Amino acid sequence: MSLFSLQQQLKEEIRGAAREMFGVEVQQLTADTPPKPELGDLAFPVCFELAKLIKQATGEKMAPRAIAEKLKPRLESFDQVARIEIAGAGYINVFFDRAKLLQLFTTKTSFEAKRDGDLTDQKTDQSKKMVEHTSINPNKAAHIGHVRNAVLGDTFVRILQAAGDRVEVQNYIDNTGVQVADVVVGFLHLEAMNLEKIKALDESLTPDYPFDYYCWDLYTEVGRFYRDGNPSNDLNPEKLGMRTKVLHAIEEGNNRIAELADYVATRNVECILNTMERLGIRYDLLARESEILHLHFWERAFELMKMKGVIRKETEGKHAGCWVMPFESHTGTDEHESDKIIVRSNGTVTYTGKDIAYQLWKLGKLGLNFHYRVFRNYQDDHTLWITTTDAKAEAKAGVERPPFGGGDTVYNVIDSRQSYPQEIVARGVAAIVPEVGADASVHFSYEMVALSPAACEELGITLSEEDRAKPYIEMSGRKGLGVKADDLINQLESGALLEVEKRNPELSETDKKATAHEVAIAALRYFLLKFTRNTVIAFDFKEALSFEGETGPYCQYAAVRTNSIFRKLGDETLRDADSLLTMISGDSALQLRVSEVLSGESGTEIWSLVMLTQQLDEVIAQCRKSAEPANLAKYTFSVARAFSRFYHDHRIVTEKDDVRRAVLIAVTKIVRAQLTAALAILGIRVPEQM
């Protein structure tokens, strides 16, 4: 049994008691951890709520403490509960029987219990959650801002999976957009290259300057080109015309420019996927904009919107000739708050329009489907699919295709600057299919990663006076202003390698590199996860490259220490310790001795570490509900910190007293299981040594 399910049982008892004794129904019932371990293992502030409810129901004024006194015996009847104390203005504080619980937690960790299906809260519904993340324009290398998106999305996916959800992971590929067109303009007009020449160029590039890096630089050149070489110039309309021409050709398809664009986009996608693979981030499906166009997703959505009266064609005013979505709540006359344009007067669709079509498909409400082919086979049998217009491609795959689309809840990991268009999409979808509603479309928003003026200087970027005065500077692919993901990972890996070589000189070169890689990824992922989503990260090299303090490697290190303890312990010692604890329930003298180890100041400290580890399930549930992975990162760090202290305070391997040693080993075992599980959800692995 886990702490989580024990909590559920206690809550049920309180609910039942409130019903029987006071005739009221408790809606919100939370279990807190008391501010200090001396105040108990669990606290229910429910009596404040009950006092209000009772007053409402009967008019009778009852003091929260008096209510608590009445509930006390009910909770004390639990076997695992040692005693109940009423504290403060009316808190119910629960003190568990530590020896009994320790044994319970040791025999099965909550994760093993979940795997074995003996958790009472197990979900039976198999509704599907869908998470779209990464979705980088395939025209250049990924930068650190993109990595924040991917790491947040990937971690949220892991959180959902840990909570027992079925999840489908999508990465949207805008292969027919302006950004791809810009790079194509660069190849055609700046480099005078055709497809053959680009392929030859691609072949000749070395791993330290791959295709996506080449495009990164070319893209910034195109940006200058549009302004005739001077960033402060206006855009040159004639040159912009080149972009428009290319864009039309790409959207049209079946021509040489479209073919060239497809090569460029696909190669960038491959490079970006390689970057993400380094971070342990994978996908189920790459959904491409070209298929949304060519498989007529938009036309279908357009029909649906017209049919349902969601959009209307304006015949006069400044939007004459456009199809717009009226904004019911718009407050008026201001020109910046008018209806949202879905189809432009020249007949082309806006991004918002295309996104509504895609969102409808995601929710299984479009009535059309993509065709699919295999894009990549990941190492452990996982297959990545991509959309295609070729209806026969799937049969050639030789693998069974999962049923893509049709999610019950769709999370779109997109930065907060797009919250307005995202709101339009959600509302549009809800208007088309009211039975789905706007809540099925969740904008998982986050703030950008920006550069501090100092970080810009370290990158050798010269700043304008205006920029220098800002607290941070927005990254810009267009300006080539940003920290490339692979550069940063490389830097982290070489930093980690130095440390590994210092500490583990006996390791083989391969092992050293593998370990350095794990440490680097831990550092990067944790760095991006420790900030809450709505905090702008002002990127700082020193902080991002650190392995000390509140970092991924610190958490990893604590887990590595638990492993090395078990390596040091002989099999026999371990077996003895295990069997000693299993005998607790039948041996009251032994149980007393275990209780003694866990009592007093030192015992309480040990015990609070155990209690902390048991909160993992609840933290996961919270993160799932709030869609805030930072909570899990913070929690993981607190477990690592508590264990580091425990490790420092107690000698585990050399402990002479067998009962005490068994307890210390049991605690270490529990920490190892929970900490390793928590890290795995953050996408951080625990190396053998580091």
Structure tokens, 120: 């009472």
Q: Which candidate, 171, 219, 682, 160, places its Cα nearest to that of 414? A: 171
CB of residue 647 to RNA, shortest distance in Å: 4
Of residues 103, 134, 155, 352, which one binds RNA by CB under 7 A?
352
CB of residue 394 to RNA, shortest distance in Å: 27
Of residues 266, 409, 532, 604, which one binds RNA by CB under 7 A?
532
Restricting to residues 543-602, name those near RNA by CB under 7 A.
543, 546-550, 553-554, 557, 560-561, 564-565, 568
The pattern of x and - marking residues 23 through 62 that bind RNA according to CB under 7 A reads -----xxx-x-xx---x---x-x--x--------------
Buried b (16+ CB within 10 A) or exposed e, 502-525: eeeeebeeeebebbbbbbbbbbbb
CB of residue 4 to RNA, shortest distance in Å: 14
Restricting to residues 239-258, name those near RNA by CB under 7 A.
none
Of residues 56, 230, 346, 379, which one binds RNA by CB under 7 A?
346
- Among the candidate windows 212-220, 256-264, 577-585, 650-658, which touches RNA by CB under 7 A? 650-658
Of residues 16, 23, 73, 88, which one binds RNA by CB under 7 A?
88
- Does position 358 interact with RNA (CB under 7 A)? The reply is no
Which residue lies nearer to RNA by CB, 80 or 338?
A: 338
Restricting to residues 193-232, name those near RNA by CB under 7 A.
none
Restricting to residues 317-336, name those near RNA by CB under 7 A.
318-322, 331, 334-336
Instruction: Answer yes or no: are the C-beta atoms of 269 and 138 closer than 8 Å.
Output: yes
Residue 173: strand, helix, or coil:
strand
Of residues 174, 182, 262, 617, which one binds RNA by CB under 7 A?
174
Say how many Å lie between the first and final Cα of the chain, rounded.
33
Q: Which candidate, 677, 585, 595, places its Cα nearest to that of 640? A: 677
CB of residue 547 to RNA, shortest distance in Å: 3
Restricting to residues 113-172, name those near RNA by CB under 7 A.
137
Binding-site size, RNA (CB under 7 A): 94
411/444 Cα distance (integer angstroms):
6
Of residues 538, 671, 679, 681, which one binds RNA by CB under 7 A?
538
Structure tokens, 153: 């999305």
Which residue lies nearer to RNA by CB, 27 or 230?
A: 27
Of residues 248, 376, 641, 660, which one binds RNA by CB under 7 A?
641
Of residues 161, 266, 418, 491, which one binds RNA by CB under 7 A?
418
454/107 Cα distance (integer angstroms):
52
Distances (CA, A) of 598 to 501, 662, 687: 40, 12, 31
Contacts of 362 (CB under 8 A, 6+ apart): 130, 132, 170, 405, 406, 407, 410
70/21 Cα distance (integer angstroms):
9
CB of residue 353 to RNA, shortest distance in Å: 8
- Among the candidate windows 86-94, 191-199, 213-221, 672-680, which touches RNA by CB under 7 A? 86-94
Contacts of 252 (CB under 8 A, 6+ apart): 258
Restricting to residues 671-690, name those near RNA by CB under 7 A.
689-690
Which residue lies nearer to RNA by CB, 123 or 417?
A: 417
Chain centroid to CA 400: 28
The pattern of x and - marking residues 486 through 505 that bind RNA according to CB under 7 A reads ----------x--xx--xx-
Residue type, 654: T
- The conformation of residue 21, written as its DSSP 8-state character, comes to I
Of residues 427, 637, 678, 682, which one binds RNA by CB under 7 A?
637
Contacts of 172 (CB under 8 A, 6+ apart): 132, 135, 286, 287, 288, 289, 358
Residue reference for tokens 């498909």: 361
